[in-house]
Every structure is written in C-alpha cells, then in structure tokens.
Structure 1
C-alpha cells in the first residue's frame, strides 16, 4: 500500500513538472534578441510568451513608424524584443475584483474544465505601456479597448483587399476572466493555481488552446486569420503561425500581421 501511494505521488509530481514546464522558456534575458528570431520577416512578431508572471505588449502604430522610416534593424528588434510587465501580486484593488484568484482544477480527474474557486487576493492593476494594441501572456491575448472577429481565411494573402468588407460583422470585445490567466504555480501539487483577474479577448485567445487531459497537455493551434478593430478605428489582421521556437519550446508565438488593414 505504501509503495503504491509513493508511486502515485511520484507520478503526480512528474505530471505537475510537465505542466509547469509546458510553457516555460529557455531564454532568460528578455532584452537580447533570441538567436532563433533572426529569420523573422517584416509583418511578423516573434514573442516569448512562456512566462506565467508577465504580459508582453505590441503597438502596431510604433511598428508602422519603423516601416515608414525604412529602419529595418529597428523593426526587427521591435518585432522580436518585448519588455516584460509583471502581473501584480500586491497592492490595493480599486474596483474590488482586480487581483489573484485561487482555483482548484481537477487535473487528475475530469480535467481543467472542472474547477472551483478557493480564494481571492486583491492586487494593484496590471501595468501597461502608454500606447499598445495587443498584449500576450502564454495562450492569453488582450486588446486595448479593441474587438476581434475570427475569419474563415487561413492566410493573410486570402483576405479581401479592404477591411471594409467586414463592415457589419460582429466583433467581440474583451471579457472579464478569473480562471484563464494562470499566474501562480506555487500550489500546483494540490491542483490549485493562482489566476489573474483581468479582461482578455476570448475570441483571439482561441488561436491557441491548452487541453488537460491528456497529459502532458495537448496544444491545439487555430490558424485562422483574425481581424482586430482597434479603439482608434483602424484595423489589423493577425494570424498565429506557430507556438513553438526552433527547439520545440511551447508558447513562443510566431504571429503574422498586416497593419494597417
């Protein structure tokens, strides 16, 4: 009986390690351009979104300025190097709901579709740059007051010439989430995960699904092109091309984009 329990604990520990490493990066210095990003082309982003603790932001207008100045080196760096904005763990919640939520997930049973809220800790608001269009955290995406439409196209080249073709289509804005932005692994051995309470765009976030079971987690890529209507009225087209780097580390996002569209 004792040997069986020990085996179960060892198996559970191994599974948790697999979960914890599933989206962990191998590059520690976020300020150096990763070596496997040298082939990133104009109209592509290469984002290390492996961190559980950080968000990364892109501003399409800033990228376009590099294009207009014909600053190829600056554009390459802006498409591959992103500053980490940590998820707050302390501070006061001004709205009574911003903070970290503890959720138990039935990882070893029915999977992460079964979960229960176990606690809440208020924190300060998520920091962000003065100007941004999209933010990335593992498989989560936010917009800055924008809205998103999933299209049937699987290539930017297939898109209609003008975004006016989508006039009248239903775009979806960001929605509040308390259980999808996994931020704290400290109690994972008990199936409890700390999640950030924050708005995310669930339509755009659907471009990468992490499913448990099975174990190790199964990643599903949705290669459709998404149209983002920014709060300034402009449009961008984005497509998740890949979610791994050249070494196979998951949550390295290669994103094709067209802006302005």
Structure 2
C-alpha cells in the first residue's frame, strides 16, 4: 500500500510516534457496558492499530479523506461498514450508534471548535473523548475560572464533562510537523443530566459574556438582557472569566427570575 499524502486543506498532520499513539489509546477508559469507540480522522491508522488490538472494543473509524479511506479499507478489511467515508461534523450519531460511545482522535486543528461543539450537542451519547488538539485549544478546555485561557468552550464543556489535560506532544512527532505544540485531553461525561437552569439561556449568557470578555457582564449582556431588567446582583459587575461554571448556572437562574418579574 502506498502511503497517504497529508493534505493541507484538511489540516492533516499524521502522528508517527507509536509510543505516543499507545499513550493516547491507553488514556481511553474502557467499560464493559460501553465498548463502542469512534476514531475521527484515522489517517493511516497509527491509533487504529492500538484500538483494534483490544478485542474488547467495538471500533469504528470515520475519515473525510477518500485516499485515507481506501488505504484503511485495504489495511483493515475486517471493519467492513465500520469504516466510514464521511464528515464527522455531519454524522448523525443517533442513527449510527444505538448506545453511548467514546470518541478518540488526532483532530484536525482547523476544525477543533466545531468538533468540540459537535460533542457538546451530543453529550448524552458521547460519554468520553480522548483527543489531541493544538495545545492552546487543549489548555483552554481544561482552564479554570480566572485564567486568561478560560472561555466559552471551558465553561460549556466543564458544565457537562470532567476534563483532564494529559500531556503535551512536540511537532517533531508528526509528518508534516505542525508549527505548534499539541495537547492531549480527556473528557469524561459527568452526572449532570440537565443543568439546574434554562440551558439555552445559559449558553447565550456564557457566549455573550465571553464575546466581550473585557467588559463587565452588565455591559456584555446588554444585547441579551434589557438594561432595565438588570438589578444590583454582584455578578453583573464581574467579567465572564471571573465566574465558575456553578456561578454561571446560578447567574442564569437569577436572570430567569428577572425576566419573570
């Protein structure tokens, strides 16, 4: 089989270090109840080799690159329909997976946020994600309140997942090497089925607050909440980065009450 050529427009950087690939797969927590795992963007299968070596896993692969798909079809003929040629962002999880499942991958950096929001939208099916992102994105996901890296993704992901920054990967372990370091994180679904507030309003408040993160929430939310509806609650005079996830939930509850007044 001829090797797959990395394509710049797909953001492909193929991991070449088998030891790091093994560490990424080992970070996947396995349970008897949920053994389905979907690898996104497998490329030439450096993670897939480790996944398929575990007979307890029900492995599915999805790649948007037809050249990678053909390569993997020859390499893993046993996968059959579990090897998918398609766009992960367009995949209907409910049609493809009857139960909860895990996601793993060395993700294209140019669609990192879209991938994470796709996982968030399907949070009741995706019980775990182990993935490699640009280091700054990985750090942002795991950042606590008060940090300069703390933002929209931090709050929304941490509302539904426990997040761990696992390790950093240097550019030299890829072909072609990216211009930045990479970071591997693990998301594990927490026990929150639904937030204790209006979830759509929570998302709107978080996004509006961080879209103008230098402003106080009183000013940042002026397009979301009429100023005559705001009161003297002290969260209005804080910036978004100062509120924890729990405080954002509490603040959303307060805004709900103001709207009813």
**TM-score in terms of structure 2 length:** 0.25
| Structure 1 or 2: more helix by fraction | 2
Which protein has the larger Cα radius of gyration, Structure 1 or Structure 2? 2
| Structure 1 or 2: more strand by fraction | 1
Ranked by relative contact order (alpha carbons within 8 Å, sequence separation 6 or more), the top structure is 1
**TM-score in terms of structure 1 length:** 0.25
